[in-house]
Structure 1
Amino acid sequence: MRALIALGGNAMTGPDGSAAPEAQDVAVAAAMEHVADLVAAGVDVVLTHGNGPQVGNLLVKNELAASVVPPVPLDWCGAQTQATIGFLIMDSLERALAVRGVRRQVATVVTRTRVDSEDPGFSRPSKPIGRYLPENEAKVLVEHGESWERRGDKGWRRVVASPEPLEILDAPAIIELAKAGYVVVGAGGGGVPVVRDADGTLRGVEAVVDKDLAAT
């Protein structure tokens, strides 16, 4: 039996919603106790996860440091959170399995999701992410190429495209690892969105893929 388990990004934060490292570590460890029970019972598990609060943390760092260092693009933020959350899951799940006498390795695949460069969402970025900023701070980030909109009295908020996922490019690697006996973590946060250019090469884009659509 094989099961796909999707962990929400908020499920990997503290009870108060804190995304502090220690709070995330505790929350992931608690979730992995339940996953370990399934694996110990013989279920072949593939894991995916959200990353909203975690990407939000990185965006705040971008904003606070924008006048000193160039902001990291959103696709990089997605890749960073896939790696970080994947590491936490691997560490906690392998520990929980060892306690149960189960020798299984966990592997994380930093996953890319192909989207259409002509998707209407790119011409009309509308998905708000991150926190509200005053106009003067938002304009610094606009100068770095980001899209920001005034959102009422609360201030300005970043908006990005949310294109439809077309293909999980690294699905073959996930499948092969699962066949080889690994518990696999993949497509975190919906995957890092990439487009295929006319010359056949891939490049990351500033967008957010719906994690639920990517998981299907």
Structure 2
Amino acid sequence: MAQERSFFCERTAEFVLSYQIASILQEVADRVLPIHFWLNREGRRETSDDFPGESIRVVGVYARRPKVSRIGDARLRVKFNEQLFEAASSHGRVGIPMLSGVPVVPRLGELGINSHSCWFEVKPDCQVRDREIWIEKPGNVISTEDFPGDGAIVGPLNSTDILETVTRHAEAGTWQDAQQRIREAKNSLDEINRFPGRLFGYKPFYCLLINSNA
């Protein structure tokens, strides 16, 4: 069998997934803001008062990209790297649940904001290595490799599952609280990954669930 290859990058997937997950999460928030968190941009302490009178919960999202043996195949392979489980643990300890999404398309020409995607919860504190799953279009998980049912990945999730996960695990607080929780999660990852660049390319985006305290 030919080696599976990807046909778009995680950043491209993020453009689709951020729209889709925000559309789901808006059911439990006044508004949803997907962001990348740079310590010297969104993380600047000068911005800590930017959401006065509002409560914020944070959800982390890792984009995954499907791989196929040849363009157009209906059978897709998706890999969850060990670094994602480490990130889920560091974020889970500070009240930030970690989701992962993958657009279920066999070619770039089928990708769009209305493409079908599969969603998963990446559980914290699971001492596991890489995981791989197979998905058959239009989105049924059909088999697993090295996936012993240890609960490290839960899914595929429907919209109700996602909202329940967020409601159960995402802690509310001020924007300053949210900034500090993300900093702590990132600092914890830096301590785990002592080799520079190990997590290059494997960074989550975040969804801020914003509600008025009034």
Q: Going by fraction, where is helix more abundant, 1 or 2?
A: 1
State TM-score, norm by structure 1.
Answer: 0.28
Tell which has more relative contact order, 1 or 2 (C-alpha 8 A, sep 6+): 2
Q: Which has the larger radius of gyration?
A: 1
